[in-house]
């Protein structure tokens, strides 16, 4: 909020974007899957990973009830051990649809959907039962118009009206998306090796995003990894591809801030063999979404009075939202966790899933507190028959990210996180994990502001004017120029001119002539 402006021009109507944090919606997705004959039978599941790919969204038109319909696909990666003790995986997917009521009739709705819980049951060697609970957080942005009504009875009466204006910073939201960013390359495979893919995964991590005039610059890394069997040995092939994209966004300005998120929507692995070895190729498709937040100035009237007659005025309080920041940041997590068992002797792969559980504001800091779920796949120690098995251990690692923020008002935030490039090793009775977590977030502040609603001039109750009277007023602590002018039914500019005031705060002024 800016300082008050005496007699600042203010429009009869103002448009403000209202932000609403709607209730979270939970969706149950349940399905039984029968594996095809060419897929090895399941003896024991190591772990299952689920991801959400949003695909549709429909906002109802303004009626007596407002709602949003949305849906998408839940993709699963199941890693298991077959009857021969080999490491295997199979991709599965389920579609979902949901409908949620809204408290308003918004112009824009953002939906962040996460996997809240996943359970898997092996019904038969070729039949799996999966139950997934999704949590969707809904954020709506509504364009509200506020009108003031000051009613002079004639154009001459308008000349006697004094207005106290205020410039209010309010939120503006734009969004842009880019789909089908395609990358086709090959892994750097070891010489004289013939890798056979077991499980593949891809992630996109936004490193920076900057608003420009009419578009958004985005820098990101796409990380692809493939768990392979090479002549009886399990290895992980990985590759990181940097991307720099300009995403068109109508209305974006350089002063705006950006929250960018990305997802990999498909990943295909193929091989090419020759006489000596084979190469693995990948084709990955990605999407990037950008939410652009800007602040815009609106002039409103907070108070008014007439120097001629009494005024009946009424006021109302409105909620004004403004953008504090929207950014992409990364931070390191280094943790030594106590091993759950002594069985694991070698780490093969680590799958990470960071989830921000809550946001806290304390001492001018906005803190995101969450949990990093790490699924560690490895080999067990050999048993008495000199045989080993694949094992999986899951660890929940807490994390916290702090950012400075300047606001004394209520704050709302949107945030999501992902992670890759994990280094892990067994260290005696502990497992040492080192990874980078990338978060994208925005913070929105809410402030209640009193503005003028209506003002009716009562010309039948005109003030008595005594032109020969000169008043001397001695300002008290807390007095403002506006309060004094309103009390004595005079113009603020007249007090300024008569007293040659340079500072309307009355600082250091012992007396003024009215």
Q: How far apart are CA 218 and CA 156, in angstroms?
A: 56
Q: Where are the domains of the chain?
A: 4-8+10-143+171-295+322-448, 466-514
The token duo for 231 is: 């002549």
Mapped onto helix, strand or coil, the DSSP state of residue 159 is coil
Mean pLDDT over each residue of the chain, to the nearest integer: 89
* Residue 247 or residue 300, greater confidence: 247
Residue environment code for 27-63, b if the CB has 16+ CB neighbours within 10 A, otherwise e: bebebebebeeeebbbeeebbbbbbbbbeeeebeeee
The H or E element that residue 485 is part of is helix 481-487
The distance of Cα 233 from the centroid of its chain, to the nearest Å, equals 41
Mean pLDDT along residues 123-132: 96
pLDDT (tens digit per residue) in 454-510: 888 888 888 887 666 788 899 888 888 999 999 988 988 889 898 888 777 788 888
pLDDT category at 299 given cuts 50, 70, 90 is confident
Tell me what pLDDT residue 1 has.
40
Sheet holding 87-102, edge to edge: 44-59, 66-81, 87-102
CA distance 199 to 465: 89
What is the pTM (predicted TM-score) of this model?
0.86
| pLDDT tens per residue, range 69-121 | 999 999 999 999 999 999 999 999 999 999 999 988 888 899 999 999 999 99
Beta strands in 23-160, from DSSP E residues, in sequence order: 25-34, 44-59, 66-81, 87-102, 108-124, 127-147, 149-151
Q: pLDDT tens digit string along 190-205? A: 776 788 899 999 999 9
**Residue among 478, 487, 485 nearest 507 (CA):** 478
Say if domain 466-514 classifies as CATH 3.10.350.10.
Answer: yes
Return d(Cα 244, Cα 242) in angstroms, integer: 7
């Amino acid at each position: 909020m800016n300082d008050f402006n005496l007699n600042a021009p203010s429009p009869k109507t103002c448009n403000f974007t209202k932000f609403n944090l709607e209730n979270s919606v939970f969706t149950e997705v349940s399905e039984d899957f029968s594996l095809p004959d060419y897929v090895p039978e399941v003896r024991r599941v190591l772990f299952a990973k689920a991801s959400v790919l949003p695909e549709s969204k429909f906002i109802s038109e303004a009626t007596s009830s407002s709602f949003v319909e949305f849906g998408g696909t839940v993709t699963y990666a199941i890693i298991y051990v077959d009857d021969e003790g080999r490491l295997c995986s199979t991709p599965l997917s389920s579609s979902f649809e949901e409908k949620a009521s809204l408290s308003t009739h918004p112009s824009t709705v953002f939906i962040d959907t996460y996997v809240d819980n996943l359970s898997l049951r092996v019904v038969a060697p070729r039949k799996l039962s999966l139950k997934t609970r999704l949590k969707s957080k809904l954020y709506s942005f509504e364009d509200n118009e506020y009108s003031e009504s000051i009613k002079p009875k004639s154009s001459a009466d308008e000349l006697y009206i004094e207005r106290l204006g205020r410039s209010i910073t309010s939120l503006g939201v734009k969004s842009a998306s880019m789909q089908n960013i395609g990358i086709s390359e090959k892994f750097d495979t070891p010489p004289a090796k013939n890798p056979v893919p077991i499980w593949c995964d891809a992630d996109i991590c936004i490193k920076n995003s900057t608003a420009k005039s009419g578009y958004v610059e985005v820098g990101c890394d796409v990380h692809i990894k493939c768990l392979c069997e090479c002549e009886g040995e399990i290895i992980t092939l990985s590759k990181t591809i940097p991307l720099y994209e300009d995403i068109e966004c109508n209305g974006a300005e350089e002063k705006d801030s950006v929250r960018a998120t990305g997802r990999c929507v498909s990943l295909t692995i193929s091989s090419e063999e020759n006489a000596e070895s084979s190469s693995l190729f990948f084709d990955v498709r990605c999407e990037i979404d950008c939410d652009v937040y800007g602040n815009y100035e609106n002039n409103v009237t907070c108070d008014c009075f007439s120097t001629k007659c009494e005024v009946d005025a009424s006021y109302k309080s409105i909620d004004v939202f403004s953008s504090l920041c929207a950014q992409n940041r990364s931070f390191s997590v280094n943790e030594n966790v106590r091993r759950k068992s002594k069985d694991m002797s070698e780490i093969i792969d680590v799958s990470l899933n960071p989830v921000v559980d809550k946001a806290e504001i304390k001492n001018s800091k906005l803190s995101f507190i969450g949990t990093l779920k790490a699924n560690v796949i490895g080999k067990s120690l050999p048993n008495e028959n000199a045989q080993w098995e694949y094992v999986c251990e899951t660890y929940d690692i807490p994390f916290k990210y702090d950012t400075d923020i300047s606001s004394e008002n209520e704050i709302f935030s949107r945030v999501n996180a992902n992670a890759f490039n994990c280094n892990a090793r067994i260290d005696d009775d502990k497992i040492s994990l080192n990874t980078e977590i990338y978060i994208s977030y925005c913070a929105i502040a809410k402030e209640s502001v009193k503005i003028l609603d209506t003002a009716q001039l009562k010309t039948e109750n005109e003030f008595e004017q005594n032109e020969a009277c000169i008043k001397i007023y001695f300002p008290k602590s807390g007095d403002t120029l506006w309060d004094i002018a309103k009390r004595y039914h005079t113009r603020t500019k007249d007090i300024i001119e008569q007293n040659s005031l340079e500072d309307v705060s009355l600082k250091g002024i012992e007396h003024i002539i009215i």
